[in-house]
Structure 1
Amino acid sequence: MGTLEQRVRRYLLSRLCHRAVLDLYQEAVAAGLLGTHFDRAGRATALRSWFVSDKARDLLSGDPAHDRRIIGRMIGSGCRHCNDMVTDYRFSTDDTGSDCRNIYDWSTPEPADPQRKPKSGRRGTSRESGISFSYVGNLLREHLPAPAPMHVAVALLVARTVGTSLLRLSMLTNPLRSPTPFVLIKAPVNRFEASVGMMLEDGLLLPFPCKLEDVLREGPLSGRYRDSGSAGPQQRRLKTVAGSAALKRDDRIVRGRLRHAMTDEPAPVLVVDETRRALTPVLTETADLVVECTGFDGPMVADLLHICVGVPPQETMTLLESSAFDLKCLSIDDLVLAVRPGRSANEILSILAMLVERCSDEDIDGKAANGENGHRRSSGDRGRGRASEKQTSDPNPGDAGVELILPVAVSDAEDAGMSSGRKQASASRTPVLSVETLSGYGPAREWAIDLKADLGLWREGRLSWSDMSTKLLLSGPPGTGKTTFARALCNSLQVPMLTTSVANWLEPGYLGDVLKLMLASFEAAASRSPSILFIDEIDNIGTRQMAGHRNYDDYWSSLINRLLELLDGSAKTEGVVIVAATNLPEKIDPALLRSGRLESHVRLPLPDLETLTSILAHHLGDDLPEVLSSAPTGRPRSRLRPPPARDNDPQRLRKNAQRRKAEKGKRVSP
């Protein structure tokens, strides 16, 4: 029987081998060696069976050496796993080294008819020559591909989590028999979450493929966007939570989303965690089953190399004793890059040591910068005295798809102007762009001035962020100064501004990457609070009322839902002033304009004569008196009006029009 870890390991590896055999049979069908048919026989799903094709019976003679060459030419040449595959390793499924052939109960190949000598040619072999399915299947199985390191690594990690956390098999099976089990699995290995998600979708961990639905609406656990329509006949719904995403969320949000997942359309919930931190008790204390391990170790790496490339475990263990890298820093990406067919154990371990040395620190630092190792800052940390601490932990704005703009200090600009005035008296200086110096913005200017006063009270702890108006939508024709207003607000409030656009969010294309980029933009702004997040061209995200009028409606609905979630409530956006701009406000989903979101909407008209005069005066700065003194003298003319017509005599124009009309009537009369 073996230990519980060995039993789970044997089951998972057998699933990988089973899938490899099915894929190989499918290649044999394409090559004409096998045929297949489906038998429903009253079942919900059809049962597929395989048989030897007539083509194979004509080509194969019953001589294994001859038939092996024939099959090799038909499915081996040009096959993705032919040339580099290790053919002499044994895909062991238990510690005794038993071959996985026993899993499928392969029968002994039937020998050729002793009364009939096989012919050397391809034709003339009868169907009674011993060419059975078990005989062809054993020859086909020699072309099984080497198992993927990612699949084997996840299988070994899952088996280790179960073996180290549970004592009996019943402790695993009893919670899983529930209609909606809630399971948490933790392995501190980078890329463990996405790898588990991909294998669940492909049906490599469970007896069926899964349709994954993220509880926290972070995108699929696998990172792959697939059609979100109804599940297939063999698929089953599975709701997932990524531990790295749960660490970034408030406990109240996690609790609410889990309640929604378990009560509205209930389905099994699986939490997959790859972080080294302990998850919130909302997950660990409420789960039906919690299994975890400490990551890779020597026996696990030796087992993986033995399965994937046929290296004896003793050889790997001997080399690991002389190596100096930490196996717990290995990621699944490192194994995929290093464990390749044809490489020796020494080469693989040398590559792994290099990857661990160059990438492990960057991965840990990157996760810490993205907030996986820290909680949301409290209201007492909002002062400027913690600026040095934020500088060391803030993520790079470029990684979040935003541009960082720092405010221009008014005192610095004035000092610079004074020094330049001493050096060159005739030098002109343009005033610092601020809300106070803007013209033509009407309600938007008043909103900004009120916000500046409220921000001072908030910094002193005398005003709650929820009592402030901190979200604004600016709309108007192109050229009305929406971006200029955002830059002026940055200088007036003396806070950094991070600029992005919906086009930047949509650049990756895949839904999971787009949702992560949206979240990263808000997190980058929150890490520099108080700050301004300026979102340009927000109308590109569309509206849910357009359902049925464009492709991939579920894709666009997911984007709108994510933006609603990021904008909703003051707790998520505390310390972040959000300003959005658009030329087409009618294309924005109405839910984005409700209370708590972009509730303040200011429409900017084209500037009138007075506003244009003020704009020109602002840009001329100190040069304005000199420009006015050099203006031409004479009769004042009305500005900004077209010149009069050359012949502006109304009576003459009327007579000319009547004459042309009379001449036209004479030409058309008979």
Structure 2
Amino acid sequence: MNRLSRLFVRRLRQRAARDTRRHALANGLLTVTSIDVQGHLVRRYTPAFDTGPLTFDRTADLGWLTRTFGSLLQETVKPEADGTTTVVAQPITRLSGVASSATSVPAHASLDLPEAVPDRCAYATKLVGLAAPPVHIAHLATALLVARAIASSGLTLQRVVEIIRRPAPIIVLMSQVDGAQDAFLRLIEMTGLVPSGPYAGVTGDRFPERDVDGFTDVALRRRFVFFQGKETGRESRAMKRGLAAVLGRDDPILAIAHHVADIPDQIPAAADLHLDAGAVDRAFLVDLLQAVYGDGDGMVRDGHDLKAFDASVLTLDDLVLALRSGRPRDEALVALHQLAACRVQGERGEDTRENRDRFPTEPATKQGALTEGRKGSSLSSKGKPSGAEVIQPQPLPGDRADGSKPPVTVETLSGYGAARTWALDLRHDLGDYRTGDLSWDEMSTKLLLSGPPGTGKTSFARALCNSLQVPLVVTSVSTWLQGGHLNDVIDRMNSTFAEARDHAPSILFIDEIDGIGKRVDPNREYSEYWNAVVNKMLELLDGAVRCDGVIVIGATNRPEQIDEAIRRSGRLETHIEIPKPDIPALAGIIAHHLGRDIDVVLQTADPSKRQWIDTAVGDALEEEMFGTPADVDQEGARP
């Protein structure tokens, strides 16, 4: 590794150690005081646990510390009734008998003892930092890509930092590594590696016409607007409006893509910084292996072990899979070779019988994590069961000769607001798509639909099926998880999307999509299982798997529980919340379901009751819009 790569790797490890110390502080394992060192306030940590068992054998002491206090070294979350999680502290009682600095050191530990250990407390505090989990492979790989891009630009690190610290820099970052685009954003937002942070990205790809100051979740961070992937290259009117809105602001702009041609021309022309990280090659893998395994005798110094396969086809997910925590170097090299062979053979994301044993078989989940899926099962074009239900659209009124009750359509729905508008726009765009006047990537075809239980998210999908007159493929995350083992879950996910493509144009409705969850710390229980499921969902939603002709709708009661990358541009980027129906919406719903029967009800009602109904409806509408009549009178009577 060059000096810049070493610096980035060291910074990531220092950040991990700092976070671990802060988790230990929050959970009561450490205490802290602020001291003045030459005019600078510095934190001084002190252990709140009994340091007596420490032997000054670093390996043994680290093992004891993680076994005894492992849960206190990581962020602790507590689920709330509303589905959110909050960090909670787990204070511990300080144990008596803390050894002083004069405590003798066992003779057998002399080789592991640093040249100068000021006191036992300082050694114990340092151990807490050393107990930090290893830096995630995705962060390591992405940081090395950034280091390579800076080195190849010919600029010094100081110059790059000066550009980043400008009030509104425009930066173009390119890489041919699949999966790197999201990884760059996570590196910026999560690791603190980039100066002048912390940061929060706001997608500019389908930039809202409203002011972005409405994004309250980024208020405490430095906001930047990012454009990502091939979606930035389309020439739709919405894209042009969004781009104009972004360029007219003073926010930092980051454009990430495989090639400069995928980025709107205005951005490269005005960019302050151009960086190109390239693709994975043998030199990059040598650096990554060195970052993971160190400079031992087994280090690949000249890439000799990497010449047997084409490294350029590897994706970021491949690197994460091959270099999983705890995997020996030789096994990692074999996994890299096999994953590269799969890519060359065109087996992108497909688990065949030949490579099934390469995927980890994890425990299903904890008791209660799985729920019953929808009834009905179907097969994809490859014959694998997806567990989905295919619903054909009902004929529209003009197609019915028997005079039966017309089907529910989007046009007849009440109380859906922005979701109804989105659906009607989609119906118009689908007509243009069928005539060849509009390409699929110019349409808004991916939607995250949220709202309290019972607000009609599934009914909306069925109504859209009838309005568009296309098949509806219905599934849920719980249906996917019924397989239990990771390879079975991945199979069902692949098969569901393949089935939707077979019926294209079609609608794929994924219920309970919050069950996908978020990617978690690799040291947490079942993290590899759940992170693999989330990554597969990202792959199926983005451009790596062709979804032309498939409208994807994810439904959830808890949108905050979904990984942010799933909601980014090119995936479920449009998020619409269905509120509980108000009085006008309820009136429309009742009128729709009663149909012509409402006339019979009114005609047979007692005249006094009919007048009471009219008055009640009028009062309700007045209250909905202006407040109760009594409130108005009272306000008018005030002096």
Decide whether aligned partners of structure 1 residues 212 and 258 sit closer, same or farther in structure 2, where only a CA change above 3 A counts.
farther
Instruction: Select which of 254, 258, 277 maps to 1:270.
Output: 254
Q: What do the CA deviations read for 1:427-477 (whole angstroms, capped 9, x no partner)?
A: xxxx99924654565999999xxxx9x9999988999xxxxxxxxxxxxx9
Equivalent position SS for 1:316: coil
8 Å Cα contact 1:52/1:133 also seen in 2: yes
- Deviation track 1:134-171 (CA, whole Å, cap 9, x = no partner) reads 65566667656544322221111001111112344565
Contact 1:189 1:332 in 2 (8 A): yes
Q: 239, 246, 253: which is aligned to 1:261?
A: 246
Q: Residue 230 of structure 1: CA displacement?
A: 5.6
Q: CA deviation at 1:328?
A: 1.3
Alignment of 1:347-358 (within 5 A): 347-358=331-342
Q: Say whether residues 1:498 and 2:488 are aligned partners.
A: no
- The corresponding residue for 1:75 is 65
What is residue 299 of structure 1 aligned with on the other side?
A: 283
In structure 1, the residue matched to 2:8 is: 12
Q: Give, in whole Å, the separation in 2 of the partners of 1:353 and 1:346.
A: 11
What per-residue deviation string (whole Å, max 9, x for no partner) do you get for residues 493-545 of structure 1? xx97634568576665679x9xx99x969x9999449xxx7989x9x99xxxx
Deviations 1:110-155 (A, max 9, x none): xx99xx893879xxxxxx9952766556666765654432222111
Rounded Cα–Cα distance in structure 1 between residues aligned with 2:24 and 2:127? 11
Residue in structure 1 matched with residue 223 of structure 2 by the alignment: 237
* 1:63-102 matched pairs, under 5 angstroms: 66=56, 68=58, 71-72=61-62, 74-77=64-67
Q: Does 1:310 align with 2:294?
A: yes
TM-score normalised by structure 2 residue count: 0.50
Distance 1:520 1:401, change over 3 A: farther
Matched residue type, 1:198: R
Distance 1:342 1:586, change over 3 A: closer
Note the C-alpha offset of 1:194: 2.5
Structure 2 Cα separation of the partners of residues 553 and 268 of structure 1: 28
Could you tell me which residue of structure 1 aligns to residue 152 of structure 2? Answer: 164
Consecutive unaligned residues in structure 2, runs of 5 or more? 72-99, 108-115, 208-214, 351-380, 413-426, 439-455, 471-502, 520-533, 598-603, 605-639
Q: State the secondary structure of the residue aligned to 2:138.
A: helix
Letter in 2 for 1:75: L
Match of 1:613? none
- AA aligned to 1:434 is D
With over 3 angstroms needed to count, the CA separation of the structure-2 counterparts of 1:261 and 1:24, relative to structure 1, is same
Distance 1:567 1:216 in 2: 15
Q: Secondary structure at the match of 1:180?
A: coil
Q: Do the aligned partners of 2:309 and 2:340 also contact (CA within 8 Å) in 1?
A: yes
Q: Does 1:325 align with 2:309?
A: yes
Q: Which of 255, 268, 274 is matched with 1:290 structurally?
A: 274
Partner SS, residue 185 of structure 1: strand
What is the aligned partner in structure 1 of residue 399 from structure 2?
434
How far did residue 241 of structure 1 move?
A: 2.6
Aligned twin of 1:210: 198
Taking a change above 3 Å as real, the CA distance of residues 133 and 270 of structure 1, as seen in their structure-2 partners, is farther
Are 1:118 and 2:100 matched, yes or no? no
**Alpha-carbon distance in 2 for matches of 1:500, 1:587:** 31
Task: Give the match for residue 368 of structure 2.
Answer: none
Tell me what 2:136 maps to: 148
Counterpart residue identity of residue 175, structure 1: I
Contact 2:24/2:30 (CA < 8 Å) preserved in 1? yes
Q: 2:44 aligns with which of 15, 30, 49?
A: 49
Mark the CA change 1:40 to 1:399 in structure 2 (over 3 Å): closer, same or farther.
farther
State the distance in 1 between where 2:58 and 2:316 align. 36
Q: CA deviation at 1:172?
A: 2.4
> Can you list the C-alpha shifts for 1:565-602, whole angstroms capped at 9, x where unaligned?
9799xxxxxxxxxxxxx999758999xxxxxxxxx999
Q: Does 1:190 align with 2:178?
A: yes
Whether the 8 Å contact between 1:35 and 1:51 is mirrored in structure 2 is: yes
Taking the aligned partners of 2:260 and 2:205, their CA distance within structure 1 comes to: 22
Amino acid paired to 1:17: R
Whether 1:176 aligns to 2:178 is no
**Residue type of the alignment partner of 1:16:** L
Report how far residue 71 of structure 1 moved: 3.6
Q: Distance between the aligned counterparts of 1:347 and 1:520, measured in 2?
A: 31
Are the counterparts in 2 of residues 179 and 267 from structure 1 also a CA contact under 8 Å? yes
Q: Distance in 2 between matches of 1:143 and 1:446?
A: 59
1:213-612 alignment, distance < 5 Å:
213-216=201-204, 229=217, 231-232=219-220, 235-247=221-233, 249-250=234-235, 252-264=237-249, 266-273=250-257, 278-310=262-294, 312=296, 315-317=299-301, 320-321=304-305, 323-340=307-324, 343-359=327-343, 434-435=399-400, 438-439=403-404, 490=469, 498-499=506-507, 503=511, 508=516, 527-528=548-549, 604=592, 606=594
Matching residue of 1:378? none
CA-atom RMSD in angstroms: 6.8
Distance 1:364 1:269, change over 3 A: farther
- Give, in whole Å, the separation in 2 of the partners of 1:300 and 1:528: 38
Q: Are the counterparts in 1 of residues 163 and 272 from structure 2 also a CA contact under 8 Å?
A: yes
Could you list the per-position Cα deviations for residues 379-420 of structure 1 after superposition, in whole angstroms to 9, with x for gaps in the alignment? xxxxxxxxxxxxxxxx99x99999777799x9xxxxxxxxxx
| CA 1:434–1:75: 2 relative to 1, 3 Å | same
- Greater Cα offset, 149-158 or 193-202: 193-202
Residue pair 1:181, 1:288 contacting (<8 A) in 2 also:
yes
Distance 2:329 2:176 in 1: 24
Q: CA deviation at 1:198?
A: 2.4
Contact persistence 1:400–1:520 (CA under 8 A): no
Aligned to 2:447: none
CA positional deviation for 1:178:
2.0
Q: 1:606 to 1:329 in 2, by over 3 A?
A: same
TM-score of the pair, normalised by structure 1: 0.48
**Which residue matches 1:36?**
32
Is the 8 Å Cα contact of residues 316 and 345 (structure 1) preserved in structure 2? no
Q: What CA deviation, in whole Å up to 9, does each residue of 1:640-665 have, x standing for no partner? A: x9xxxxxxxxxxxxxxxxxxxxxxxx
Q: Is the 8 A contact 2:25 2:32 kept in 1?
A: yes
Q: CA deviation at 1:21?
A: 3.0
State the partner residue of 1:389: none
> Which structure's CA Rg is the greater one?
1
Per-residue deviation, 1:292: 0.8
- Structure 2 counterpart SS, 1:241: strand
Task: Identify if the C-alpha distance between structure 1 residues 257 and 77 changes in structure 2 by more than 3 Å, giving closer, same or farther.
Answer: same
Identity of aligned residues (%): 21
1:21 pairs, out of 6, 17, 22, with 17
Q: Is the 8 A contact 2:309 2:337 kept in 1?
A: yes
Task: Note the C-alpha offset of 1:327.
Answer: 0.9
Return the letter of the residue paired with 1:172: V
Deviations 1:243-290 (A, max 9, x none): 25424x4354344334433545x3322223357974342433333212
1:32-86: per-residue Cα shift (whole Å, max 9, x none)?
8854224699x9x985333467954x677xxxx65648844641436779xxxxx
SS in 1 for 2:271: coil
Aligned residues: 448
Partner Cα distance (1:66, 1:457) in 2: 73
Letter in 2 for 1:250: E
Cα contact 1:150–1:336 (8 A) shared by 2? yes
Distance 1:40 1:54, change over 3 A: same
CA distance in 2: counterparts of 1:21 and 1:145, whole angstroms: 8
Aligned-residue offset at 1:355? 2.0
SS in 1 for 2:192: coil
CA contact (8 A) 1:31 1:74 kept: no
